[in-house]
Structure 1
Amino acid sequence: MSVAPRASTPSWPIPPEGGWTADDLDRLPNLPPHTELIDGSLVFVSPQTFFRLRAVSFLEWQLQSVAPADLEVVREFTIDIDRQNRPEPDVAVVRAEVVEPDQTRFPAEAVVLAIEVVSEDSVSRDRETKPLKYARAKIPHHWRIENERGRAAVHAFELEPTTGTYTSVGIFREPMKVDVPFPVDLDLTQIKTRRDKEQ
């Protein structure tokens, strides 16, 4: 006698009516690391590229070394935008006064700079969805890092207060020198492999 195979129970979370909320990210069991919430939907991160790894590490440490004492530089940490949006910038600069050892997210109003490194699976989110949400949350500065044949190009934006949208303040490919949100002088050519550095 043949027995029909049992329908397997899906191992991924089933969204409630109306979608997930920002608080659910802290309550749902067994979520993959760096899960984001965008428009009430869970977004899982694909395996990262070496370029993204190197860019995120470079920006985290370079910014941390020059950030004023009242600012903290963090990587891959979610921010509360609203009930249905809790994105995770690759690097963020936040006001140090809000940083607590046990917290799992920052309020959007404490973020002064949100940085995204574009990956193949996140192109539309990083170029369109997230900048719009960061602007609506009044995050004053946003940088988007693009991979141009293994070299970094930083697209820097500043919030225009009268329109509530971002305006470009420049595209930087080798040196990057800006005065806001604090003085930064970066050598973007350092975002590459050791092999490239030796050539």
Structure 2
Amino acid sequence: MDTQSDGRESSLHDVTSAHEYWPSPPPWGWTADDLDRLPSDGPNGEPDFFKHVELIDGALVFRSPQRRFHERMICGLTNSLNALVPGHLAALTRMDVKLGHRMRPCPDVLVIDAAVADDDNRTCYKAGEVHLVVEVVSPESEERDRKTKPPRYAEAGIAHFWRVEENDGKPTVFVYELDPATKAYALTGIHHGRLTVPVPFPIDIDLDDLPR
């Protein structure tokens, strides 16, 4: 069976029936479109069970409660970016990016086309609509944010990726840019205290004094 046929077949399944297989995935596997059809409650009636979930290589990944550092970085970077973005772009927090049939991560911060940001019905964005993704590393997300997600973002053609790590209570930002020849990210800088880069638009952010 080809990939398109498999996608059409899986779309016919009522994802609530996947509960009977929990915690194993359903036989047809999870797809990116399933995230729009998941029930609000969990297999045993847990409220908002699927509220904070992303799809990584066909597996549902549940995000653990975030630390204050994580939340502060997300809010501070988003507010700072929105103060600097040109009119055709917008910075958002925690919206999904659909990278493929079984890949739908949820970056902590992303910069997208303003035209699609104005559509309040969207639940995810295409890679071609995304200019920058930012992942703030937590202890439980370290492997995903360092090793799993960046290659997928690069393969999808997203031009800019930042990884934010905590160092003695302060942020360090690792800045990457896509090499179009290799479809891989190249490290262009490691920023402490102040983040100043010319792309994807001129950015100058005081990392030690982010908006709260």
Aligned to 1:166: 185
Residues 34 and 76 of structure 1 are in contact (CA less than 8 Å); yes or no, is this contact kept in structure 2? no
TM-align CA RMSD: 1.8
Q: Secondary structure at the match of 1:79?
A: strand
Aligned to 2:107: 89
Q: Secondary structure at the match of 2:82?
A: helix
- Structure 1 pair 18/132, CA: closer, same or farther in 2 (3 Å)? farther
Query: Of residues 186, 193, 197 in structure 2, which corresponds to 1:178?
Result: 197
Alignment of 1:33-44 (within 5 A): 33-44=51-62
TM, length-normalised to structure 1:
0.88
How many angstroms apart in 1 are the aligned matches of 2:131 and 2:181? 18
Aligned to 1:70: 88
Aligned to 1:19: 29
- The code of the aligned residue for 1:49 comes to R
- The code of the aligned residue for 2:191 comes to F
Q: Secondary structure at the match of 1:87?
A: coil
Number of aligned residues: 185
Q: What do residues 18-40 of structure 1 show as CA deviations (whole Å, max 9, x unaligned)?
A: 52000100101124323100011
Higher Cα Rg, which structure: 1
Deviation at 1:58, TM superposition (A): 0.4
Residues 75 and 211 of structure 2 are in contact (CA less than 8 Å); yes or no, is this contact kept in structure 1? no
Residues 72 and 93 of structure 1 are in contact (CA less than 8 Å); yes or no, is this contact kept in structure 2? yes
Query: Of residues 80, 100, 105 in structure 1, which corresponds to 2:124?
Result: 105
How many angstroms apart in 2 are the aligned matches of 1:146 and 1:27? 33
Gaps of 5+ in 2: 1-18, 41-48
Gaps of 5+ in 1: 1-8, 194-199
- Structure 1 pair 124/52, CA: closer, same or farther in 2 (3 Å)? same
Alignment of 1:104-143 (within 5 A): 104-143=123-162
Q: Which segment is superposed worse, 95-104 or 137-146?
A: 95-104
How many angstroms apart in 2 are the aligned matches of 1:102 and 1:14? 31
How many angstroms apart in 2 are the aligned matches of 1:183 and 1:144? 18
Deviation at 1:14, TM superposition (A): 4.6
How many angstroms apart in 2 are the aligned matches of 1:114 and 1:189? 21
TM, length-normalised to structure 2:
0.83
How many angstroms apart in 1 are the aligned matches of 2:84 and 2:106? 22
